[in-house]
Amino acid sequence: MIDPPQIIEIAAQQAAVIHMTVPREEIRTVMGLAVQEVAAAATAQGIGPAGPLFSHHARVDPVTFDFEVGVPVTRLVTPTGRVKPGELPAAKVARTVYHGPYEGLGAAWSAFSEWIEQSGHKPAPNLWERYLAGPESSLDPSQWRTELNRPLVS
């Protein structure tokens, strides 16, 4: 389900983002439009996307998603509509890659979180997913890959 996790240091990455706070069950209805908006803004400004789409969650909450949808950019995005400058932070992170359909992400995060805890690491409140390969690259969900990142408290 998930690749063997690793602990790595990553640099900050500038991004164009849209921030949203929505009930968990609304994620599927708001994500698609946000993805289109943020990618269109980066493309129109000639600054990206410079890497995979991501969703960066400020905290884990069973009821509400407080998150940003974004794409990496090569320079600061000029705000337009809901799109604003943002970044994926520099951090020491636990990272793995999940292979499979988006419906399996909950179980993948559970397995990953268990590994983090059993390895003696303390997770920060935020986390992010980078969508490396999805429906745009294959109709076969077993070919989809989502990178899971959890910053660690030193």
Would you say residue 1 lies in a domain? no
pTM of the model: 0.95
Residue 133 in any domain: the answer is yes
Q: What is the pLDDT of residues 7-57, one digit of tens each?
A: 999 999 999 999 999 999 998 899 999 999 999 999 999 999 999 999 999
Res 20: pLDDT: 97
| Amino acid at residue number 136 | E
Is 26 strand, coil or helix? helix
Q: Is residue 135 part of a domain?
A: yes
57 lies in some domain:
yes
Domain-embedded: residue 82? yes
Q: Determine contact, residues 8/92, Cβ cutoff 8 Å.
A: yes
**Structural domains of the chain, count:** 1
Instruction: Assess if residue 90 is contained within a domain.
Output: yes
Element (H, E) at 106: helix 105-118
123: domain CATH number? 3.20.80.10
Q: Which residues contact 58 (CB under 8 A, 6 or more apart)?
A: 66, 67, 125, 126
DSSP E strand stretches across 24-118: 54-57, 64-72, 84-88, 91-99
Please indicate, yes or no, if residue 10 is contained in any of the structural domains.
yes
- Report the amino acid identity of residue 28: R
Beta bridge pairs of residue 114: none
pLDDT band at 99 (very low <50, low <70, confident <90, very high): very high
Q: Quote the tokens at residue 121.
A: 């690491």
Take residue 135 and report the two structure tokens written for it. 């429906």
Mean pLDDT, the chain, as a whole number?
96
pLDDT exceeds 90 at position 82? yes
Tell me the residue range of the domain where 73 lies. Answer: 6-153
